[in-house]
Structures are given as structure tokens and as C-alpha cells.
Structure 1
Amino acid sequence: MSTSSINTSAEIPVGFGEAAFEAFLTTRDEPDWVTQLRRQAFKRYCELLESELDPEEWRRVDLRALRPDRFQLSAGSEVAKYSAETLLKGQAEFAGHVTHIDGQLASTELAPELAEKGVIFGDLSMVAKEHSELIQKHFMTKAVCSETDRFSAWHAAFWTGGTVLYVPRNVVIETPLHSLISLQAEKTADFSHTLIILEEGASATLLEETASATEENLGLHVGAVELILAKEARLRYVQLQNWNDKVWHIAHQAGRVENNGFLQWTVGGIGAKLAHIHQDVVLDGRGSEAEVNGVTFATDKQIHSFYTQQAHNAPETRSDLLYKQVLRDHSRAIWRGMIRVEPEGQQTNGYQRNDSLMLSPTCRTDAIPGLEIEADDVRCTHGATAGRVDEEQIFYCMTRGMSEYEAMHMIVEGFFQTVFDRIPVEVVRETLNQAIIKKLGFGR
């Protein structure tokens, strides 16, 4: 087990202006190329603040209450031991762990036999120094672009750490790895970055979760996820978002898959005040495949928003996206999906579906699927449904001895079951089910 060591001599001002940026840089011990990229991104961030966000993606997301000047980056003070409950840690055997608290590395470990095979699993800041050439080649160069909008530039300028997984050619990791990103201090901003690189023929599973140490602390997370798969690589990546309901969660996430590679990407959205995910899946090689699973449950006044894009840039590619959303109280779910097929993407098979189940008359869902097809030999379909719980189903269950709560849980679990059946990792299925039980218990 190793623990981070970061310069703590500087006090970072609240907010993200030039003074805060320069003070932040003094706390970093990084290669010159990282600092240069940060400066370029900060300049772009300041320019994009004066520009309108893409209305196609953001018109339904209300950001008026988001005040960046209320939040502050951690200066790298000593990391306290994380004691709050998490969804995954301790629930199964893992081949390695990485834990970040308030943007700082708390601990990292990896099974020795994997390290001997050349696997790298650890903190992005440390790996960027120790394996600079590897990280420079992949960091925000192929998947997430720092110039997409103000949030991607904001992240590129202020990223605070994160998890790196590198798997060499033909190395197969059978046991899952685990990553925890947590917020513990009041009004702390976290800019964690997840970077996964699988070389040709490699295989791995990473289970990543976000969590708040308390139910009361305000927090901000502006993150990024990059999943880069070479030929015939196979990755299962799971991210379970479980912030408290006072955290703003905004992230750009992208996966790129080469020839005959396979990406299974599962998203669980449970927490946050407002969560907006820009999720791109790009199939670059012939025969590449991606399966995207989404399970979200919003209560109270939570807002869960997803902007998904499935890009088919090569022939004989397949993408399959299925999102299931449950809403209650005054919550809201937004999903805008797009399948795009380039002229080279002949014999593509693309599918996307979004289903919403509303447990209250005051919640709302917006689902907008879309297709942009430039090839003439494809099979692309999409769909979206939304509906209320059938009162007769609840009555039927209650006449057979169930309480209303038990009946509701059975209905919700059944609604999610089609997604659960697509997830091969048992601990993920069980964890999501337990999170649903807890969510149904609110307000009763």
C-alpha cells in the first residue's frame, strides 16, 4: 500500500479564476508537457466562458444555480482516512484498488503477479511522471477533447488526479479492479480523470464508483473518462455514481474501439443534485462492438441528464445502448441519444433504447433518440418509452400478502431486470439492486 505525497505550501483561492489557477499549478509536481496542456486548456476555458453551450445538448439542463465561485480545489493537505460506506468496496475480491479523496490519492494497490506482467494501475498524476511517454500519447488526444465545451476545457485545466489502467498486449486480467472517487470536505471540487488503455488482445474489468462521505456536504465534480481499446481488446467498465444530493456532477466520457474489440460500458446513476454526462462511443475498427447499459433512479428534485452518441466509423460494427430510468417525486430525467454512421460504416448494426418508469405524477422525463446515417447498407433502430406504474399490478401484489413497498420494489426491480441480465458481474447486479432498495425507502 502506498500513499500520495503532494506539496502543500500553497493556499488555493476559492473559485477558478487566474489567481486560483496559478496557485493550483504551484501545488503540482508534473512534467512540463502536462503544465503546458493545462495552460492551453485554461486559456480555452476562459474563451469558452463567453460562448453559448451547444443548445442541442444543454437546452434542457438548467445550470443557473451552479456557482463555481462557491467551490475550492484541495491544496493537497494530508488525506484523512475514508470511513463512509461505499457500494462496491468490500463486496468482492479485487485484484487492485485505487482510492481518491477530494481529488487527492489516498491509497493504491495492485496484485504483484499483474505488476510483473506489466500492468499499470494507479494514480494518474504519479503515472504521468513515471510513464510520461505512455500517458502523453493517450491523455485527451484520442477520446475526450479539451475543446468540446467549457466543461471539458475546465477539466483539462484543473484535473486533480484520477485512475490509470494500462494492460499490455495479450494480458488477460480475470479478477476485477476497483476505483473509488470520493468527496469528503465541504465545498470541495474534484476533477478526477479516468484513463484506461488496453493494448491488442488485452482484457480487463474495472469497477469504479463515486461517493460522498456525508449527506450534507456540498460538492462539485467535473470529470472525464477515456477508454481506449486496441485490436481485439475486451473491456468491461462500470461506473456507479452515488454522490449525495448536494453534488454537481458533470463529465465528458468517451470510448474508442479498434478492430474486433469489445467494450461493455455500464452506468449507474443514483446520486447527485444534477448529473450531466456527455458519453461518446466511437467504433473505429472493422468488427468492433460496444454494449452500453444505463440504470438511473432519481428522487426528490434530482436531475439526471445523459447525452449519448454512438459513432460507427468502420464497416461491420455493432452498438447496442439500453438505458432504464426510474423517477419519483419532482425529479427529472433527460436523455438525448444519437447514432451516427459514416459513409465507411457499411453493414453497421446500431440500436438504442430508453425506457422511463415514473412513480409520481410530478416527475418528468425527456427522451429524444436520433439517427444520422451516411451509409446505405445498415440496420439502425431506436426507441423510447415512458409510463406510470400500473396500479392494478400493485393491487395484485398486495392481495397476495405484500406491502405496498414490497410490491413497488418488485415492479421496479423487474423494470431494471433487462439491463441486469446484460451485466455479467454479479457484484454489480447485487449492488445496483441494493441501491434501488435504499432509494425506494426514502420518504417512507
Structure 2
Amino acid sequence: MVITSINDAVKNNPELIKKALEASNSKEDKFTALNNAAFNSGIFIHIPRNLILEKPIHIVSCLSDDGISTIARNVIFADESSKATIVQELYSSKAEKQQAYLELLNTNVAPNAQLDVTTLQMMDQSTVNFSTRRTDLGQDAKINWYSGLFGSMLSRYKIEYFLNGTGASANDSEVIFGNNEQSFDIQTNVNHESPSTEGRVVEKSILRNKSKSLFKGMIRIKEKATKSNSFLSGRSILLDKDAKSDAIPGLEIFTNDVKATHSASVAQIDEEQIFYLKTRCLSKEEAERTIVEGFLEPLSRKMSYQVRAWIAYLIESKWDSRELTINTDEELAKFVEIEETRYNEDSEIEQHYKYR
């Protein structure tokens, strides 16, 4: 297995780097052009054929204290029949001068390989975060990508999945929690290039104060991609009257014998639900938290217990205006223990007797 800087990878793995560079067309997007031309950092990960990693790979990135922005060129290759979990953490310290984290990430999942990727963006709200991502999947390849976007003043994510091989599968889950005047612009596209491919994109936003989000999604099923199945959803819950959200899902179907659907909703928090919970001795804030937890519950079921614990911990941290971090302290361990038993009835019974 290879985990190295992008500069060393250019010298030692030129063929794979060339393949990633060729997959990114600088003419399509000005941010892609900027990253290809001026990247000053980056990570290269190569998971060899048939290698199954039991422990996750953690990528921790933090903007420097000198005020210089980061332009990152990240590349991930999972060779045939490999399996790995990658966790990406993005941080920044509070700075007087505005900084930016600009990322261009290419992921290639070879036939019969599987990747589970979690991105947790926890940067200070004085920063800007632009990310352009492309994932190519071969025959029977699978990727599960979980994103938790909590930080930065402005976040712009453009995410593309290309299901190039028969039986390829992409599952994308995105959680956004905005407050103050944060702005999130998310575009997620799933391109079905081959038959019997599956795509699932679910985005959920929780917005407080004057924060806002825009979700744009597109399912494209090409002429050869018969028997494909795809789903796209963008939903937002507004906790304050000044919060705003828009969702623009779309479908482009060029063949028959497929299943494709999309949905979108934006709504204020239900005052009747608040009233009902308050009659059950909850405060307004506790009632809002309960409603938010229920809002995220269907999405949480698709995540591992560790990812659910991270998301829950970060939401509570942001709600209480604490520092955003996923350091494995005792408080986070409590969330992990809860999520381990949430959907396991036998464990729940064991926990009951444990604390009696």
C-alpha cells in the first residue's frame, strides 16, 4: 500500500497520476483548471490488488497559521478486489485573514473493489472551502461516501460519479448543518454509463440563523445503461425564519427499462411538533434537537455506527458552540456506545441489564 504526498507520487507513480490528471478536464470547470495548474499540496493513496484493510486510513488536513491558502490535488486508487475505509478530516484555526481550502480529488475504484469514504469538514467560519470530486467505478465496484459539512463561511462542492462498469454502485450521503451566515452550494451528479448500475444520493440540510443551502443534483442514465436503478433526494429543515434553502434535482434518461426517481423538500420546523414535545416536558431547544434527530434518522441507518457517532457529536458540538473536532475523548465514546446499540436489539437488552 502506498500513502504519500502528491509530489512524491508524481516521481514514483507517474502512470497513475497521469491517469488522474487526464480524468480531470480543465476546460469544464475553472476551479478544476486552477487546481491542475497551481496545486501546492496533496495526498496520493494506492490500495493494491486483493488487499483488504481492517483499519481505516485517516487523512487530516489543516490550513496553515501563516494565512496562506491550500490548493490540494488528492488522488485515490483502489485496485481490483481491494477493500478499504478512508476518513478525511478538514480543519482550520481562526484567522484574521481569510483563507481557502481548494481541493481537486480523483478516486478510481477498480472492478470488484470497495471504498468507504467519510469526509468531515470542520473548518472555522472565516474560511472558504471549494471541492471538486470525480469518482470512476469499474465492474461490480462499490463506493459509500458520507459527507458531514459543518464549517467554513462558504462551501462549494461539485461531486461526480461515473458508473463505468456493469454492476457498479455508488451511495452518497450528505449532512449539512449551517448557522450564522454560512452558505453551502452542493452539486452531485450520478452518471450511469453501463447496464445494471445503481446510484443513491441523499442530501439533508439543517439550517439555523441566516444560513442557506443550495442542492443541485442530476441522474444521467446513458443509452447503454439498461436495467439501472437510481435515486436522488435533497431535503432541508429550517430552524429559523431567516434561513433559506433550495433544491433542484433533475433526470436525464436516454434508454428504457430503468428505474429513476428524485425528490426535494424544504420546510420550516413544524410548530405542532414543537408544541407536542413541549407537552412532554421538553424545552423548545430539546424539542428542536429531537426533531432534527428524527429528520436524520433514515439517512443515519445507511451509515456505520462510527460515522453516525461522529455526525451526532459534531451536531451537538455546533449546537452548543463548542470547537468542532472528532478527537476520541470520553464524550465522543458515549456517542459511539449509543450508536453501536441503536439498531441492535440484543445489544440494547444487554445495555439495559448493564446499567440496572
TM-score using structure 2 length? 0.87
Match of 2:241 among 358, 361, 364: 361
Cα displacement (A) at 1:139: 2.5
Tell me the alpha carbon deviations over residues 231-257 of structure 1, each in whole angstroms, 9 at most, x when there is no partner: 001001111111111111112101110
Matched residue, 1:434 = 313
Structure 2 gaps, min length 5? 323-356
Kindly indicate whether residue 262 of structure 2 is the aligned counterpart of residue 408 of structure 1: no
Mapped partners of 2:4, 2:25: distance in 1 = 23
Provide the residue aligned with 2:88 in structure 1: 208
Contact 1:221 1:249 in 2 (8 A): yes
Report the equivalent of 2:332.
Answer: none
> What SS is found at the alignment partner of 2:42?
strand
> Gapped runs of 5+ residues in structure 1?
1-118
CA distances 1:378-435 after superposition (whole Å, capped 9, x unpaired): 11000001111112222332333323222221211221122221112x3321111111
- 8 Å CA contact 2:236, 2:267 repeated in 1: yes
- Please tell me the root mean square deviation across aligned C-alpha atoms, in Å: 1.6
Match for residue 390 of structure 1 among 256, 270, 275: 270
Matched residue, 2:44: 164
* Matching of residues 269-308 of structure 1 within 5 Å: 269-308=149-188
Residues 94, 126 of structure 2: 8 Å contact kept: no
Asked if 1:235 is matched to 2:115, the reply is yes
Q: Does 1:154 align with 2:34?
A: yes
Q: Does 1:141 align with 2:22?
A: yes
CA distance in structure 2 between the partners assigned to 1:437 and 1:153 by the alignment: 38
Give, in angstroms, the shift of residue 186 of structure 1.
4.9
Q: Tell me, what secondary structure is at the counterpart of 2:22? A: coil
Asked if structure 2 preserves the Cα contact closer than 8 Å seen for 1:186 and 1:218, the reply is no
Three-state SS of the structure 2 residue aligned to 1:397 is helix
* Displacement after TM superposition at 1:270 (Å): 0.5
* Structure-2 residue corresponding to 1:81: none
Match in the other structure for 1:124: 6
Structure 1 stretches of 4+ with a deviation exceeding 6 A read: none
Residue identity matched to 2:187: Y
Match in the other structure for 1:84:
none
Task: Give the C-alpha shift of residue 217 in structure 1.
Answer: 5.0
Letter in 2 for 1:299: N
Where does residue 418 of structure 1 map in the other structure? 298
Deviations 1:100-159, CA, capped at 9 Å, x for gaps: xxxxxxxxxxxxxxxxxxx111222222223333323x33223x3222221111111111
User: What is the number of residues matched between the two proteins?
Assistant: 322
- 1:335 is paired with a residue whose SS is strand
2:209 is matched with 329
Amino acid at match of 2:70: D
C-alpha deviation, 1:266, in angstroms: 1.1
SS at match of 1:237: strand
Shift of 1:183: 1.0
CA contact (8 A) 1:222 1:251 kept: yes
Q: Which whole-Å CA distance do the structure 2 matches of 1:372 and 1:379 have between them?
A: 12
CA distance, structure 2, for counterparts of residue 120 and residue 234 of structure 1: 17
Question: How many angstroms does 1:215 deviate by?
Answer: 6.2
Assess if the C-alpha contact under 8 Å between 1:184 and 1:217 holds in 2.
no
